[in-house]
Amino acid sequence: MDRNQRRGAARTNHSRNQPGDPFKAAIPRVAIPSTGNIQELESLSPDFISWYAQHRFSVDIEEVLESLTLFFRFYPSFEGGRSITALKSAEMSAKLSSLITHTLFEGVMAAYSLMRFVEFLHAAGRWSGSQESFTAVHGILEDISNARVRIAISYEHIAEHVATGTADWL
């Protein structure tokens, strides 16, 4: 490639010659907090707290509500009458994947909290989506929960071997 060909190639690949706004791609996309989701969660909270207390789960309700608030604050805002009582499995799994990838504890806690919340909605007859959507959402949350249990068991197994000095495979 001679000098003129390189210049021509450089000009055609330059950002000024690209269609659209060259700065648009440089601006990071930030999720806008959804106050509507939080308001809806707050309206469901008293009944959820009562239901949760009846089942004696191991995690404190305060932590569960805090996790749900964090999750729903950045869950996509709902349009056209949708609500947090009918989660979309693709949107939910994308948000959980992002949380788990970036902040493992918050992601796992969000999955646990959502599992309890979805079970509450279904048991109380407040799930406003279809049975198929409930099954899909619940299945994703169960898969994450099962993965969390496998990780915890593996961690305990490794920690036991390290503590007893039998971790020759490390």
The tally of domains found in the chain comes to 1
Residue 75 is assigned to a structural domain of this protein? yes
d(CA 166, CA 163): 8
Q: Residue 153: pLDDT above 50?
A: no
Q: What angle (nearest 5°) sits at the alpha carbon of residue 38, between those of residues 32 and 41?
A: 150
Predicted pLDDT at 44: 95
pLDDT tens for 94-141 read 888 888 888 888 888 899 999 999 999 999 999 999 999 999 999 999
In three-state secondary structure terms, 128 is coil
How big is the CA angle at 151 (ends 150 and 153), to the nearest 5 degrees? 65
CA angle 158, 163, 168 (to 5 degrees): 60
pLDDT digits (tens, 9 = 90+) for 46-65: 999 999 999 988 899 999 99
Range of the domain at 140: 32-164
Residue 9 placed within a domain: no
- For residue 88, being part of any structural domain is answered with yes
Stretch among 28-42, 50-64, 114-128, 149-163 having the lowest mean pLDDT = 149-163
Is residue 123 included in any domain, yes or no?
yes
Evaluate whether residue 62 is within a structural domain: yes
pTM of the predicted model, to two decimals? 0.68
The verdict on residue 23 lying in a domain is no
**Residue 71 included in any domain:** yes
Q: Is 68 among the domain residues?
A: yes
Q: How far apart are CA 136 and CA 25, in angstroms?
A: 34
